Amino acid sequence: MILRLSLFVFLALAHANFAQTSEELLKGVILKINSVKDYKADISIKAEIPFVKVPIAKATLYFKQKDKFKVVSKGIAILPKQGISDLTSFLSNESKYTSLLGDSKTIGDIKTKLVTVIPNGENNEIILAKVYIDPTESLIYRTVLTTKESGTVTVDYTYGQNKKYGLPNKMTFSVDVKKFKMPKSVASDIRNSEKKTKDKKENKGVITITVIGYEVNKGISDDTFKKD
Amino acid sequence: MLWKNTRNEWIKITSKIRSYLGIGALTVLVVVVQVALKADGGSFISYVTASFEQTLSFNGKILNGNLVAFIVLQMLIVHVPLLIALVTGDLLSGEEAAGTIRMLATKPISRTQIVLSKWIAAALYTFVMTAWLAFLSLVVGKFIFGEGDLIVLNSSGLNIIASDDLPWRFALSMLIAFLALLTVSTLSLCFSAFAKNSVGPIVATMAVIILFTIIGTLDVTVFDAIKPYMFTTHMAAWRSVFEVPLPWDAVWESIVVLLVHIVVLLGITILRFNKKDITS
Amino acid sequence: MALISVSNLSKSFGNFKAVKNVSFEVREGDVFGFLGPNGAGKSTTIRCLLSLIKPSGGEIEFFNQNLASNRNAVLSKVGCIIEKPDFYKYLSAYKNLEIFGRISGKDLSKMEIYKFLDFVGLTGREKDKVSGFSHGMKQRLGIAQTLMHDPDIIILDEPTTGLDPQGIIEVRNLILRLRDEQNKTVLLSSHQLSEIEIIANRMVIINKGETIVEGSVQELLEKQSLNLQINVMNESIFESTLLQSFPELKYHKVYPHNYHVEMVSDTSAQLNEKLVNAGAGVKSIVPKRSLEDFFIKMTEK
């Protein structure tokens, strides 16, 4: 009897989990997002972009609800234009999109559910977002954003001790570089001509942001986000 | 006697107004570029990063003293040789025109020593111009625009070089730029040995630089064989110092080509001046 | 002792032979006149002596040393002015002397340079730029430049060109002082034959690139015939007396009542007596053995 009861409860719970709707999955994520009023993250940025050579850069990310975001770097840091903060602020506003539940996909060791998010209006920069969510912990492990200007950006997330806030300790951005045209030199390079510039057809650029440390909900002044 | 006459030649160079005109013109040019970048450097940056800005964002202080110094050096690669030739092209032919070559050549100093002392003085002037250019672009530039990483557009793509990796690169690039400018001053001195007036060597030097530069940029197979040996091909070698990784082979090749030009041109000058009958 | 020895010197500029065969010697203590008409090859020869021009052939020796192989050692003992002295116009008189002094083989102190400027009468003009100097002042500065390293030989090519009579006298006196007081040897090229006649003790005349005659000025002049400049009141009596009594004498009228008479031997006393007795009215008889005449005679050949 007890065994049957346990089995029934287990199946009910299991069914309840895997029966979550796309909205419920996203809500779980948003709840976690909203638990973070602000954060400051020290990051290192490694960019591997075709025809771009850049050393590993150190920077500091600042975030404050609802959509204040700033990157401060001592040197020059190359970051993806899309995918760092715009998705979370987009997802926070549920009225602006429609979501659809998709298939399961295992990313690393994590079993995730695909939620496809389609913006309601036509004026959004994001055309389509595919979000792979771990339903048990309400964590995003991958997003594939299709944007008007930047093409497709795929972001993989890895989590550590700040999992409870939904804050990853590593983000790997895969950037579409199809639209790149390698520019000619600003001033004519007299020695040139052996290294001819080419249009690369199928190329991806990868930017890896590793978080060295977070300070979450410690309070950040609005002045921090003022433009220099 | 060589060093005594080198001192004499330096006194002559520093006593002529045109020597200071060159330095003054250089100062004005650099200041104009710096003012322009201070006023509208953003447009320039956008031009450099335009191709990448659809997908990437560049954070940090892009318009900084290091970038401004790089831009200044780029822009002046044609102008500075002219300012150098204005002084060095006059060293032998100017004395012939003024008649002082008669007095000089009857002194107990060999013709070879006369040429060498003039060349050393010309090299010193070239060094002063290069150092002044470095000071204006780097020191003054950093004072106005601050420190930061350097973003460089080369034929191989976009390079970003960390600021602490730059001092030795700038030092090496200025050394190579000095070598390139020394080639120009040696060329003008060589022309000066064949002329009897000041203007000819200056015009001839600039004509050669312009002609060789044009040949170097033409995509014609006929010229491919000679391009690696033209000194103008290597005059921009200083830019290679800002490539990652630094193409040491190409840099050494440029240094050797420029040195060979200097030695050969100096040799021709000495030979010509030794054989010359001074009838003026 | 010969301080300068030139043997069979030649110089060609392309097909043109400016100097064909010039030889002469300058001895210690000489004021040596170097003469020749325009285009004779004087400047070319002097420039060869100073290694401004490379000879095509022949030998030049200074102090018994070959010039070509001992150039610097030789030139450290030679001072020269060639045509007009040219200086760095943008530098002061002092700075010009300092620059040339520095490479003349003798280090000069500031006081010594000032001393030379004073010697040539340029005191007070030390700091003035040469661009503001007159021709005479530049000539004087040139002399200072020539002397300041205490040379044994001084070569002057047309040093009095452009100078006023006072300046010419000053240069003449200076040369004499250099010879008499400082035992300098001077090689002097000049068109002022009267000056050469006064100050030179030896000379050479070249023409068309070749040596015509060389020797002591006095001996050369004594060898030539005595000429008389005669001024008479009655031209017809003069001419008829010469025709009758001295048919061998050549003469020509220089201007009315004034005659130039060439004499082979000195019969001036007899001529005078005849003319006076004939009533020619002799106003003056001036004997002339001039360098000018000698020069013209030599270079006309």
Question: Which pLDDT score, from 0 to 100, does residue C47 have?
Answer: 94
The token duo for B166 is 């730059």
A130-143, pLDDT tens digit by residue? 999 998 988 999 99
Residue C109 scores a pLDDT above 60: yes
* Mean of pLDDT over chain A: 79
Other chains touching A, judged by 3 or more CB pairs under 8 Å = B
Question: Which pLDDT score, from 0 to 100, does residue A179 have?
Answer: 54
The token duo for A216 is 């979450």
Q: Are C231 and C258 in contact (CB under 8 A)?
A: yes
Residue A187 scores a pLDDT above 50: no
Q: How far apart are CA C2 and CA B121, in angstroms?
A: 40
**CB atoms closer than 10 angstroms to residue C59:** 14
Q: If contacts are CB pairs under 8 Å, which of residues 170-189 in chain A contact chain B?
A: 175-177, 179-189
Residues of chain C with CATH 3.40.50.300: 2-217
* Higher per-residue pLDDT: B211 or C106: B211
CATH of the domain at A128: 2.50.20.10
Ranked by mean pLDDT, the top range of A40-54, A88-102, A199-213 is A40-54
Question: Which pLDDT score, from 0 to 100, does residue C108 have?
Answer: 86
Q: Which of A1-10, A164-173, B139-148, C69-78 has the lowest mean pLDDT?
A: A1-10
Q: Which domain holds residue B120?
A: 2-275
| Total domains in the fold of chain B | 1
Q: Which of B56, B68, B227 to mutate to test the interface with A (most CBs of A within 10 A)?
A: B56
Is residue B280 included in any domain, yes or no?
no
Is residue A164 included in any domain, yes or no?
yes
Instruction: Please answer yes or no on whether B55 and A80 come within 8 Å at the CB atom.
Output: yes
Ranked by mean pLDDT, the top range of A209-218, B227-236, B260-269 is B260-269
Q: Is C78 an interface residue toward B (CB < 8 Å)?
A: yes
Residue of B nearest to C100 (CA): B104
CA B232 to chain centre: 11
Question: Which pLDDT score, from 0 to 100, does residue C163 have?
Answer: 78
Instruction: Please answer yes or no on whether A177 and B55 come within 8 Å at the CB atom.
Output: yes
Handedness of CA C226, C232, C235, C241 (dihedral sign): negative
B101-137, pLDDT tens digit by residue? 999 999 999 999 999 999 999 999 999 999 999 999 9
Instruction: Please answer yes or no on whether B155 and A190 come within 8 Å at the CB atom.
Output: no
Instruction: Please answer yes or no on whether C100 and B5 come within 8 Å at the CB atom.
Output: no
Which helix (H) or strand (E) segment holds residue A59: the answer is: strand A57-64
Average pLDDT over residues A170-181: 76
Question: Which pLDDT score, from 0 to 100, does residue A184 have?
Answer: 53
pLDDT band for A186, please (50, 70, 90 cuts): very low
- Which segments within chain C are labelled E, that is strand? 2-13, 16-27, 31-35, 57-62, 65-66, 78-82, 153-157, 185-189, 202-207, 210-216, 226-232, 250-255, 258-263, 282-288
Residue C75 scores a pLDDT above 50: yes
Q: Are B106 and C82 in contact (CB under 8 A)?
A: yes
Instruction: Please answer yes or no on whether A75 and B60 come within 8 Å at the CB atom.
Output: yes
Is residue A10 included in any domain, yes or no?
no
Is residue B88 included in any domain, yes or no?
yes
Average pLDDT over residues A58-81: 86
Is residue A84 included in any domain, yes or no?
yes
Handedness of CA B200, B205, B211, B215 (dihedral sign): positive
Q: How far is C10 from chain B (nearest CA, A)?
A: 14
Question: Which pLDDT score, from 0 to 100, does residue C195 have?
Answer: 77
Is residue A6 included in any domain, yes or no?
no
* Higher per-residue pLDDT: A67 or C111: C111
* Higher per-residue pLDDT: B52 or C112: C112
In chain B, which residue ranges form alpha helices assigned H by DSSP?
Answer: 2-15, 17-49, 65-75, 79-88, 93-98, 100-105, 111-134, 141-145, 167-194, 199-217, 248-275
Q: Which residues contact B251 (CB under 8 A, 6 or more apart)?
A: B172, B176, B237, B240, B241
Q: Rounded to 5 degrees, what angle do the CA atoms A85, A90, A94 make?
A: 145
**CB atoms closer than 10 angstroms to residue C82:** 23
At C181 the three-state DSSP class reads helix
C192-227, pLDDT tens digit by residue? 777 788 888 899 988 888 888 888 887 777 666 677
What backbone phi and psi angles, to 5 degrees, belong to A49? -115, 135
Q: Which residues contact C164 (CB under 8 A, 6 or more apart)?
A: C136
B75-107, pLDDT tens digit by residue? 777 788 999 999 999 999 999 999 999 999 999
CA B75 to chain centre: 12
**Nearest CB to C53: which of B103, B107, B277?**
B277
Residue B138 scores a pLDDT above 60: yes
Q: Which of B87, B107, B118 to mutate to test the interface with C (most CBs of C within 10 A)?
A: B107
pLDDT band for A189, please (50, 70, 90 cuts): very low
C82-107, pLDDT tens digit by residue? 888 899 999 999 999 999 999 997 77
| Total domains in the fold of chain A | 1
Tell me which chain C residues have a C-beta less than 8 angstroms from the C-beta of B99: 84, 86
Q: Which domain holds residue A58?
A: 21-181+199-219
For the whole model, what pTM was predicted? 0.83
Closest CA relative to residue C78, chosen from C91, C61, C95: C61
Q: Is B246 an interface residue toward C (CB < 8 Å)?
A: no
Q: Is C154 an interface residue toward B (CB < 8 Å)?
A: no
Average pLDDT over residues B249-259: 94
CATH for the stretch C2-217: 3.40.50.300
**Nearest CB to B149: which of A49, A76, A81?**
A76
C251-261, pLDDT tens digit by residue? 888 889 888 88
Q: Are B41 and B65 in contact (CB under 8 A)?
A: no
Question: Which pLDDT score, from 0 to 100, does residue C301 have?
Answer: 58
Average pLDDT over residues C68-73: 92
CATH for the stretch C224-300: 3.30.70.100
Ranked by mean pLDDT, the top range of A6-20, A202-216, B189-203, C191-205 is B189-203
Q: How far is C242 from chain B (nearest CA, A)?
A: 53
Residue A1 scores a pLDDT above 70: no
C34-49, pLDDT tens digit by residue? 988 888 889 999 999 9
- CB-based touch B/A (3+ pairs, under 8 A): yes
Residues of chain C with CATH 3.30.70.100: 224-300
Q: If contacts are CB pairs under 8 Å, which of residues 153-172 in chain B contact chain C?
A: none
Q: Is A227 an interface residue toward B (CB < 8 Å)?
A: no
Note if the bond before A66 is cis, omega within 30 degrees: yes
Instruction: Please answer yes or no on whether B105 and C80 come within 8 Å at the CB atom.
Output: no
* Mean of pLDDT over chain C: 87
